[in-house]
Amino acid sequence: MVVPMKKLTTKARQHLKVDLQIIAVILLAFVLSFFFFRIDLTSEKRYTLSPYTKRVLKSLNDIVFIKVYLEGELNIPFRKMQQGIRETLDEFRVYGKDNIQYIFINPFESTDARIRQDMFNHLYEKGLKPTNILSTDTEGGSIEKIVFPGALVTYKGVDIPVNLLKNNPGVSAEENINNSVQDAEYELIKMIGCRVREKTEIVAFIEGHGELDEFQTEDISREMSMYYQVNRGRISGNPGELDSFIAVIIAKPERRYSEREKFVLDQYIMKGGKVMWFLDKVEISLDSLAMGSALAIINDLNLDDMLFRYGVRINPALLQDLQCNIIPVNVALAGNNPDFRPAPWYYFPLLQAPADHPVTRNLNMIKTEFVNTIDTIGARKGTVKTLLLKSSDFSRLAEAPLIVSLDEIRLNPSREDFRKSGLPVAVILDGRFESVFQNRMIGDIVRGSAPVFLAESKPTKMLVVADGDVIRNDVRVTPQEIIGLPLGFDRYTQQTFGNKDFVMNALHFICGNEDLVNLRSKEMTLRLLDKAKIKEDRTFWVIINTVLPIFIIVIAGVLYNFIRKRKYAAA
């Protein structure tokens, strides 16, 4: 049989066209293999890592192994969280290459109850916090189970716990899961970054004036030690003795600072040093209050002139707020058995952290006790003052000195009695500051020869909080040991507030780790379905989702057959 030359030429031409297309694809793939780029088409850039994260991941010189304990039978919100964390870790591997390894583990996979309990204890001792969820069983019912929404980051043999779940009672469960996913990059990279850092900076707690001791700051000191070296000590009065510290922390002093100590602090700030001030302007005895009432008096720490020169003033008044913590109060009549009931205590405000600053974004409420307020003052050099914590819309002030009595709990004030709103409690100061010793004789203050005096500071930052208890953890005393409880944990409500995250975020921020803190500014839009509309139009959307795909496939098949018959019939 002789095949016409025209048909052979057409067929060969078709083969040649296909071959050229394949060759072009191979060449394009080969050329593109020399270039690296990723395109994130989401509006909030949820799959785009920050430049800081990329730098940290590319600088890894050893394997970081991440064990995520979020596997097994999970409800829908936690499956979304699991998927979000997996996507973040996949992005980590793009830049960290083989130095990033991860695995998802079901901590209760074993059918042996003893093995599961051992795993539970192991993770809890490592620092991972469990939470309860409702899960659907095989018969369609619901059961309550424990999950550990966290990870252990292992680097050079050291395990670091990372709790990934944001559990803010002020927002819905969907928002908490969404916030957890969008903060996953921050929570993971801050732990990895602190491990790979070559130089460890030093922070110091100042002692000698009745400040919080090592047990009352045990939890925050432990957290700080993951990123910084933490020291404690007194100011001896020698200028320059604080210069080796990146930041110093003044945590709830009770006694006055001398002029010599103030001079050391002042000149440390002038050299660019950072200070975190946690101060109580009003002093009250909790032992006396436990007996029924106590006198709240003004506590003069001899620091007012320094703070005033730097741009703030702490007012000698106690903040009362309708948004407050509860305390157990004995409501039984005299002579009867004690009957403790929860009651709101307006002197323990729960401060809502604003969402427009990376230090406070997505934080739980901040637990406080006997809080003062702050006035910001126009400094000559124009320092920037950023409000971080403030009262609710229903608050008021009680000027000291005054008598504070537990009988106030029995009162039933209305919102009309709490007319003040947004009273400042914590601010960050950023800029250049003037020395409080400017135009003063310092010969009698310093020892030995006069040092080089600086009248204006280098650019620096400070945090001022008008409550020393923000950084204090409760302490449990046993015959064997003294145990510091987690910072922000309330023993009565069994809730952990956002104090630790607030202090650590602020420390990172003022110490210059702004690239790290700014990761918390990443925001993923939570697009929730309209439940009312779903219920109303349920039948319509069920039909659309079940019938329409089948209809489209049938129409596509009919069109394909029609075109095919027409094409080959013509041939």
Residues 239 and 176 in one domain: no
Each residue's pLDDT tens digit in the chain (571 positions)? Answer: 444 544 456 667 777 777 788 888 888 888 876 665 666 666 656 667 888 888 888 888 889 999 999 888 888 888 888 998 998 899 899 888 889 999 999 888 888 888 888 888 888 888 888 887 665 555 555 556 778 888 999 988 888 888 888 776 666 777 778 778 888 888 888 888 877 776 788 999 999 999 999 999 999 999 898 889 999 999 988 888 999 999 999 999 999 999 999 999 999 999 999 999 999 999 998 888 888 889 999 999 999 999 999 999 999 999 999 999 998 877 666 667 777 788 899 999 999 888 788 888 878 899 999 999 999 887 556 789 999 999 999 999 999 999 999 888 878 888 888 989 999 999 999 999 999 998 888 777 776 666 788 989 999 999 999 999 999 999 988 888 888 889 999 988 888 898 998 999 999 999 988 777 777 766 655 555 666 677 777 788 788 888 888 888 989 888 888 887 777 665 5
**Is 39 contained in some domain?**
no
- Write down the pLDDT at residue 185: 87
- Write down the pLDDT at residue 258: 93
Distance CA 426, CA 351 (A): 10
DSSP result, 431-479 = E--B-TTTTS--TTTSSSSPPPP-SBPPSEEEEEES-GGGGPPPEEE-S
CATH number of the domain that residue 65 is part of:
3.40.30
3-state secondary structure labels for all residues of 235-269? CCCCCCCCCCCCEEEEECCCCCCCHHHHHHHHHHH
Residues 157 and 83 in one domain: yes
Distance CA 346, CA 458 (A): 41
Q: Residue 114's CB: how many other CB atoms inside 10 A? A: 8
Residues 98 and 228 in one domain: no
Residues 305 and 158 in one domain: no
Residues 502 and 443 in one domain: yes
Residues 59 and 164 in one domain: yes
Residues 103 and 210 in one domain: no
**Is 505 contained in some domain?**
yes
Residues 189 and 245 in one domain: no
Residues 488 and 368 in one domain: yes
**Is 243 contained in some domain?**
yes
**Is 162 contained in some domain?**
yes
Tally of domains within the chain: 2
- Bridge partners, residue 294, by sequence: 404
Predicted TM-score (pTM) of this structure: 0.78
**Contacts by 49-52, CB closer than 8 A, 24 or more apart:** 49/91, 49/92, 49/95, 49/185, 50/185, 50/515, 50/518, 50/519, 50/522, 51/515, 52/189, 52/193, 52/515, 52/516, 52/518, 52/519
Residues 303, 418: contact at Cβ < 8 Å? no
Distance CA 160, CA 517 (A): 19
- Write down the pLDDT at residue 147: 81
Residue 133's contacts (CB-CB under 8 Å, 6 or more residues apart) are 74, 75, 78, 144, 145, 146, 147
Structure tokens at 327: 């305390």
Residues 74 and 210 in one domain: no
Residue 113 CB-half CA count within 13 A: 0
Distance CA 238, CA 48 (A): 49
Task: Give burial (CB, 10 Å; 0-12/13-18/19+) of 56.
Answer: buried
DSSP result, 295-336 = EEEE---S-HHHHHHHTEEEESEEEEESSEEEEEEE-SPTTS
- Write down the pLDDT at residue 169: 67
CATH number of the domain that residue 363 is part of:
3.40.50
**Is 402 contained in some domain?**
no
**Is 62 contained in some domain?**
yes
Residues 309 and 166 in one domain: no
**Is 532 contained in some domain?**
no
- Domain with 127 in it: 51-194
Residues 521, 361: contact at Cβ < 8 Å? yes
**Is 400 contained in some domain?**
no
Residues 141 and 210 in one domain: no
Look-up: residue for tokens 């109850």? 113
